[in-house]
Amino acid sequence: MKMKKLLLISAVLFLGLSTIQAQKSAKDIGFEAVNMATIQGQLEFLASDWTQGRETGTDGAYMAADYIASMFKVWGLSPGGDMEQRRMSRSFRRGGPPPAAPKRTYFQYFNLVETYPGETQEFSVVTKNEEGFQSIDFNYKTDFTISGGSTGMAGEVPVVFVGYGLKDDDKGYDDFKGLDLKGKIVVKLSGFPGHKAPDSKAYAKFKPEVAEEDISNRARYMRMYGRRGGFAWARERGVLAVISVNPNSDPTSQWVTNLPVNAEINGPARSSVRKSLRRMGNDLGQASINFTITQRVVNELVSGLDINFDDLEKKIAESGKPASRVLEGKFIKFKTTIHSSMVRVRNVIGVLEGKDTTNAIVIGGHYDHLGVRDGWVYNGADDNASGTVGVMTIAKAMMATGEKPEKTIIFSAWTGEEKGLIGSGYFVDHHYDYNILCNLNYDMISRNSPGEDQDKKISMTFTSTTPIFKELAEKHNADYELDLDINFKGSPQPGGGSDHAPFAKAGIPVFYFMAGFPPEYHQPGDHLELVKWDKMLKIVKLGYLNIYELANQDWK
């Protein structure tokens, strides 16, 4: 009798639990799959020393890519990359059975050109006037360094000052207006208009959304967004070379060879050879070179012209207007040689096929970082192991729903972001047969900016002509009590230095989450112990909720 009662009670409990489970929506079941153990377990490996900083093209990056692909497989995604390459078997060549049909892989492969400076590096400032000319020759890694470029080059080229190298139609600002830059060398200021003058008109217009207490951090933030992407504006305008000037700074601290540790950057002195990676195009003009110069080179460059870059910074800050101009009579004579080799790299792509197999949503984040420098591992826990884990975890959640979404979802981990948005740019140009509806980008989703009360503050950059991105984020943040303080930054075509930019440039709507801009950005100290786990978990949950709705409702 007691056994029958126990069985009856068990049956009632089972039916009750089944009823509760049946009452849960597929969306909520997926939401519960986004949990702390999942993000911690994945991030602890991806940001470990075993992956060696995940620099593009290295063994550490290959290990990281294999791990990401294995997690895509564990969660149940289909391979979304290239077909496997197979050699013809000997038995088939001898009349035996044909080999099995090649299968699709989780990897999208492509080749990059790896370059670094050769033995010859020359740089001279030439001043020409009616009386003749004067040439001052400077020394490599004493007065200048050079990076970028895919081939050796030499020339004697006019020089143009282009302010901050900034064009923003929304704010009515254009440093390039009226200037012919093709085949020229341009000089640009580092930072952004007004970054040294928080009370200025220009600062009010261009200030980035980071802590008000930290001017240097704001400047670093803006320099990041100017340089990541490899000065695309220079390539587009046919610029031969870019010289970045930061008045009153001393770049020589980066060139010393006898210091094992540089306290200013919380890590090693960057004395090792720096290599560049880029896609090989058919046009040599695609790759401009970059010079870094000392103050005495700057002084020679503007001598006799009544130009002072300190004064120009103040003038631009006060007026909020460009001050670009040709440096009349000034030329730069240079010669550079390049060593190069080909490097095989890969994006990681998994697919959740929807009922509609043509139209697809792309979720992505870059898995690469800076690698190992002078024995220091740049783990990049926040930048961007965190965003990659976000992508993998949303894959887990969508599979946990048990449903086939209306639209196909492509889950991607990009390589080469730190080298100039290479992996995402390659995918945009080679996205198989899909029609891409939108892109969710995760980059640096686990840390705070400096300052107080930052635990809830995040930013969402989005295509303003697609307001549903903001509407869904606001709705889910409230309905699921995530309690995030979201700074929405909308524009018709969002730019910047992260992997949403190639999609936006191609006319694809984007939305992009970022948690903050910490002081350890691009430093060896970007470690797991600094991660804000609760904040990261909420950002991943919000991304999942938005993607679920976008994949299952008609909005475009």
Q: Tell me if 319 sits within 8 A of 202, measured CB to CB.
A: yes
DSSP β-ladder status, 376-378 and 289-293: unpaired
- Helix spans in 207-289 (H): 215-227, 232-236
Q: Which of 333, 339, 351, 366 is nearest to 444 (CA)?
A: 366
93 falls within a domain: no
What's the CA gap between 536 and 388, in Å, rounded?
A: 12
Asked whether residue 225 falls in the same domain as residue 281, the answer is yes
pLDDT for the residue 43: 98
Give the model's pLDDT for residue 169: 84
CA pair distance 101, 86, nearest whole angstrom: 9
- Burial code (b: 16+ CB inside 10 Å, e: under 16) for 56-68 equals bbbebbbbbbebb
Which token pair is 145?
């360094």
**Looking at the domain assignment, is residue 2 inside a domain?**
no
Domain assignment present for residue 18? The answer is: no
Report d(CA 342, CA 516) in Å as an integer. Answer: 35
Total Cβ atoms within 10 A of residue 534: 11
Question: In total, how many domains does the chain have?
Answer: 2
Q: Which of 315, 339, 363 marks a domain boundary?
A: 339
3-state per-residue secondary structure call for 145-211? EEEECCCCEEEEEEEEECCCCCEECCCCEECCCCCCCCCCEEEEECCCCCCCCCCCHHHHHHCCCCC
Q: CA 51, 55, 59, 65: dihedral to nearest 10 degrees?
A: 70
Q: What is the pLDDT of residue 211?
A: 43
Taking alpha carbons only, the member of 359, 350, 349, 358 closest to residue 550 is 359
Are 325 and 354 part of one and the same domain? no
Task: State which amino acid sits at residue 310.
Answer: D
- Judge if 172 and 320 occupy the same domain: yes
Query: Euclidean distance between the first and final Cα of the chain, in Å?
Result: 62
Q: What is the pTM of this model?
A: 0.80
In a domain, 457, yes or no: yes
Q: Is residue 14 part of a domain?
A: no
Query: Do both 178 and 65 map to the same domain?
Result: no
Give the Cα separation of 89 and 109 in Å (integer). 23
Domain contains 76: yes
Predicted local distance difference test score (pLDDT) of residue 20: 47
Residue 96 lies in a domain: no
**For residues 186 and 135, what is the distance between their CA atoms, to the nearest angstrom?**
19
446 and 513 in a single domain? The answer is: yes
Which residue among 306, 339, 372 closes a domain?
Answer: 339
- Which of 339, 369, 384 terminates a domain? The answer is 339
| SS3 call for 382 | helix
328 and 427 fall within a common domain? no
On the question of a cis peptide bond just before residue 266, with omega within 30 degrees of 0, the verdict is no
394 and 508 both lie in a single domain: yes
DSSP secondary structure letters along 95-155: T-PPPPPP-B-SEEEEEEEEEEEEEEEEEEEEEEETTEEEEEEE-BTTTEEEEE-SS-EEE
Residues 254 and 314 both lie in one domain:
yes
Do 484 and 503 sit in the same domain of this protein? yes
Query: Same domain, yes or no, for 120 and 232?
Result: yes
Is residue 492 in some structural domain?
yes
Residues 270 and 145 reside in one and the same domain:
yes
Q: Which domain holds residue 205?
A: 112-339
Tell me: do 332 and 251 sit in the same domain: yes
Q: Which amino acid is located at 403 in the chain?
A: E
CATH number at residue 377: 3.40.630.10
Rg (CA), the chain: 26
Give Cα separations from 148 to 233, 250, 421 (angstroms). 15, 21, 15
Per-residue pLDDT of the chain (556 residues; tens, 9 = 90+): 555 555 455 444 444 444 445 578 999 999 999 999 999 999 999 999 999 999 999 999 999 999 999 999 999 999 999 998 765 555 555 666 666 678 899 999 999 988 888 899 999 999 998 888 899 999 999 999 988 777 888 999 999 999 999 888 888 899 999 999 999 999 999 888 888 888 888 888 887 654 444 444 444 455 444 444 457 788 888 898 999 888 878 888 778 766 555 444 445 544 455 677 888 766 655 557 889 999 999 999 999 898 888 888 899 989 989 999 999 999 999 999 988 899 999 999 999 999 999 999 999 999 999 999 878 899 999 999 999 999 999 999 999 999 999 999 999 999 999 988 999 999 999 999 899 999 999 999 999 999 888 999 999 999 999 999 999 999 999 999 999 999 999 999 998 889 999 999 999 999 999 999 999 999 999 999 999 999 999 999 999 999 999 999 998 7
